[in-house]
Amino acid sequence: MNLKLPKDGIGWRTTGLIDSFLDMLLAERNAALNTRLAYRRDLTDAAQFLAKKKIELADAGEDDIRAYLQSMNETAAKTQARRLSALRQFFRFLCSEHHRKDDPSRAIDAPKLGRSLPKYLSEAEVNSLLAVVNRMKGADGARLGALLELLYASGLRVTELVGLPLNAVQHERGFVQVRGKGGKERMVPLGEPAIKAFKAWLPYRKEALGDKRKSVYLFPSALRGKDTFLSRQRFFQLLKEVAIAAKLDPKRLSPHVLRHAFATHLIEHGADLRSVQTMLGHADIATTQIYTHVASDRLTKTITEHHPMSGKKRKL
C-alpha cells in the first residue's frame, strides 16, 4: 500500500521528511502498516492546518504547535494526546537526523486523560455469542467458531488473529505462536474448545481453497488469485451479526472487546498479572494493570448491589 502523502498544500520538504519518518518506523521499529497509516493521518492533519498559515510542519515553532492543538479544543482528549505524541516523535526524528536543532513540542504538556476502563463482555455474554455460533452450520459457522474461540482463548489483537498463518496453531502442543507488535513473537496456550474449533474449520478451509489454490493463512480471503487473509472489516461485520442474534447490543461488540474479556476474566479467576501481560503481548505491565481496575470495579459494584450490609441493602 502506498504511504506517500498528498502533495497539495503541505510542502515538498515536509512531505519528504514525513515519508522518511514513516520509513524509519518500518526499518527501525518494524511498525505495522496500520500504525504507520495512523501516524501519516495525524501528521498530515497538522501539516494541512499549518499550511493554511504558510508554515511548513517541519519548520513549525512551539507557538505554531500550540495553536494547532488549541484548534482541536472540541476533539476528544485522547485524540489530542495521540496527535501530540505523533508530533513529538516526528520532531525527535528531525532532530536526530539533524534537520533541525530544537524540538518545538518538548515543552507542551499532553491533555489530562481520565482513567478509561476497557469495555468487555461478561462470561455469560461470551457464552451467548459462542452458543449462537455453535448453532451455525457449514463453512461460515466453522470459520466464525474458530475465529471466536481462538480470540477468546488467546486474547489476540484482531490483526494478529485474521493474519494467523496456518502453522501458527500448534494444536498438538496446545499453543498458538503469534508475531505481534514490533515483530515480537509470543506463545499463548489454547484450551480444548479453541483447539476443537480449529480442527473443525480445517476441512472447510481445504474445501474452500480447492485443489489448485494454496494459502499460508488459517483464514484465507475468498479473493481468487491473491493469497491474502480475511479482512478486519469483514470480521467486524460478522461479529455485529452474531451480537444481534445473541440479543446483545452490536455497538458493544468488537474484536478488541473480546480481547478485553479474555484478560478481565483471567484476572477475575486469579491469573497473575505477569502471565496476562505475556499472553497479551504488552511491552509494559502498566498497560495490563488496567484489568485489575476492571475486576476491582466489578467486585465493588457487586458488593454494593448485593451485600446485605451495603448502603443499598442496609436500613438504619
Question: Cα–Cα distance between 45 and 152 in angstroms, integer?
Answer: 36
Residue 291 bears catalytic tag: yes
Of 39, 120, 152, 291, which residue is the catalytic one? 291
- Give ∠ CA 14-19-22 in degrees, rounded to 5: 125
Q: Is 135 a catalytic residue?
A: no
Judge whether 100 counts as a catalytic residue. Answer: no
Catalytic residue among 100, 181, 186, 298: 181
The angle formed by the CA atoms of residues 248, 236 and 201, to the nearest 5 degrees, is 95
181 is catalytic: yes
- CA 159 → CA 13, 80, 180, 245, 285, distances in Å? 33, 25, 9, 25, 21
Among candidate residues 143, 205, 260, 282, the one labeled active-site is 282
Give residue 143's identity as a one-letter amino acid code. Answer: R
Cα separation, 310 vs 261, whole angstroms: 27
CA max distance for the chain: 77
Q: Which of 157, 205, 260, 265 is catalytic?
A: 157
CB-neighbour burial class of residue 173 (10 A; exposed 0-12, middle 13-18, buried 19+): exposed
Task: Judge whether 36 counts as a catalytic residue.
Answer: no
The single residue of 143, 259, 260, 265 carrying the catalytic annotation is 259
Which cell numbers hold the place of 304? 454494593
- Give SS3 for 233: helix
Annotated active-site residue 157? The verdict is yes
CA distance 218 to 68: 44
Q: Out of 88, 100, 256, 293, which one is annotated catalytic? A: 256
Hey, which residues are catalytic here? Answer: 157, 181, 256, 259, 282, 291
